[in-house]
Every structure is written in structure tokens, then in C-alpha cells.
Structure 1
Amino acid sequence: MGYLTTHVLDTANGCPGAGIDLTLRRLAPGDAAVLVERTTNADGRCDTPLLEGAEFTAGRYELIFRVGAYFAQRREALDDPAFLDEIVIRFGIAHEDEHYHVPLLVSPYGYSTYRGS
């Protein structure tokens, strides 16, 4: 059975994005059910997969990363309000037997993501 993981890297400081709150939601027509709320560890990862087992099903999902609070805590909120507050990444899971990894590379003014391994 497949599973879902994430990893946040702070590209402005060259370090893991530790302490970033995130939410995973399953998207369905007219609904967005919250499945998981976590905080990244010292390595910028979550301690366990975000989804696995019977919960890991094909469909549309979104990850919401609260990076504005992270950069404010680091005293790097260069603007008020912060340019990036929440980053929403919408993605699909098509194959229930594969590992899906959604990394986030972030700085106060930009971000990038891709399907990792």
C-alpha cells in the first residue's frame, strides 16, 4: 500500500523548515475534509506519513503550509502582512500502491514544489 509524505526546506536560510504547521485535506465536490494537522520536526519532515493504509486512497488533496508564522517566528517577516502567509498545494493521487512525496522549498518571497521520491 502507498503512503504520502512531505518535507519543507527553508531555501533562504539553507536549513530544514522546522516548526511549520500544515494541514492535509481531501477535496471532493463541495467539501474539503481535514484529514491531518501536523507540525514539521527539526528535519522539516513529519514524524510519520501524512496518509497511509486504508486512508491512502486515490483522489484530489491539498496541503496547506503556514509559512508566514514560521518566518515571523524566525524574525524574518519583512513585511506586515507577510508576502507569503499560507501556501496551498493541490495535487492528485492516482496510484494507491505508490509513495507520493510533496516537498516544499520556501523563502519569504517564493516557493517551489514537485513530486519527489
Structure 2
Amino acid sequence: MSTETTASVSTHILDTSVGRPADGVAVGLAARGGRDADWQALGGSATDADGRCKDLPALPEGTTHVRLDFAVEAYFENNAENNAEKKQADVQQDAPANRDSGSVGAFFPEVAITFAVVPGEHFHVPLLLNPFGYSVYRGS
């Protein structure tokens, strides 16, 4: 049985469209102590070259719900510019690049994930991301 009075949270992002970690994505963290309580912004971080946020703020005692806010639009805009330069040198293009040739960025510019926590447990919540969708799960 744990004697800790708060939960802890970590996350990482994998860009499944390229099969690599998503570097430089801003991640905000908010918490509340009950379903009807107001959200308290705790701060944030950005993903590193491995797609991980290693310095998210600690959760306050009494936290029951957590929200991770991922600002993915800038990440995809930066990657679209980088990929456009690479594609000029490539002869073959993949189907997803042609699906929405007039748009730059992401269909979902922000991803907000809300989940319940219990004191003394660690919650790792990975984000699997691509320009047209995302998935999350409770990791280990």
C-alpha cells in the first residue's frame, strides 16, 4: 500500500505518420479536485527528441482529475514545411501526403485528454498522433 498522497503523471508522443517521436510539442497540465471543481492550470513542458515530457509539474494533493493539453498544430506545420522540402527530392510520394494537398497542419490542432487519478499511483498517458487522428491509452 502506497503512502503517497498525490498521483503523478507522465506522457510521450509518437507521430505514427512517420514512426518517430514527436519533438517540440507543447504540453499543458491542469488538475482539479473533484468532478465539479474548477480546473487549475499547473504549467507545462514540451516534448524532447524522444517525444517525452520529463518535467511536468507535480499534482497538488487532492487531485482527482487531470487534463493534458497537447498543442499539435505547430508541430505538424513545422513538419509539413520540412517534409515539403524532402519530397521535392523524392520521386515517390505516399498516399497520405496527397490526401489533403491544399492544407498544411493538422485536422486536430489541439488534443485535450482528461482522465481520473487516484493518490499514490503513477499515470503514464502516451499520445499516438498523426495529422488526421490520434489515440491515447494508459501506459506503464
Q: Which has the higher strand share?
A: 1
Structure 1: state its 5+ residue gaps. none
Quickly say closer, same or farther: Cα 1:69–1:56, change in 2 above 3 A.
Answer: farther
Opposite residue 24 of structure 1, the aligned amino acid is: L
Most deviating of 6-15 and 72-81: 72-81
Greater share of helix: 2
Q: How big is the shift at 1:47?
A: 2.3
| Distance of 2:124 and 2:78 partners within structure 1 | 26
Aligned length: 114
The percent of aligned pairs where both chains have the same amino acid is 39
Instruction: Normalising by structure 1, report the TM-score.
Output: 0.84
Give the 5 Å matches for 1:25-44: 25-27=30-32, 29=36, 31-44=38-51
How does the TM-score come out when normalised to structure 2? 0.72
Distance change in 2, residues 1:14/1:56 (3 Å): farther
Comparing 31-40 with 69-78, greater Cα deviation is found at 69-78
Q: Which residue of 2 aligns with 1:100?
A: 123
- d(CA) in 2 for partners of 1:34 and 1:115? 22
Q: From the CA coordinates, give the structure whose radius of gyration is larger.
A: 2
Does the Cα contact within 8 Å between 2:74 and 2:105 map onto a contact in 1?
no
Q: CA RMSD in A?
A: 2.2
Structure 2, unmatched stretches of 5+, are 82-96
**Aligned counterparts, 1:76-95, within 5 A:** 79=103, 82-94=106-118
Post-superposition offset of 1:32: 1.7
Number of the residue aligned with 1:48 = 55
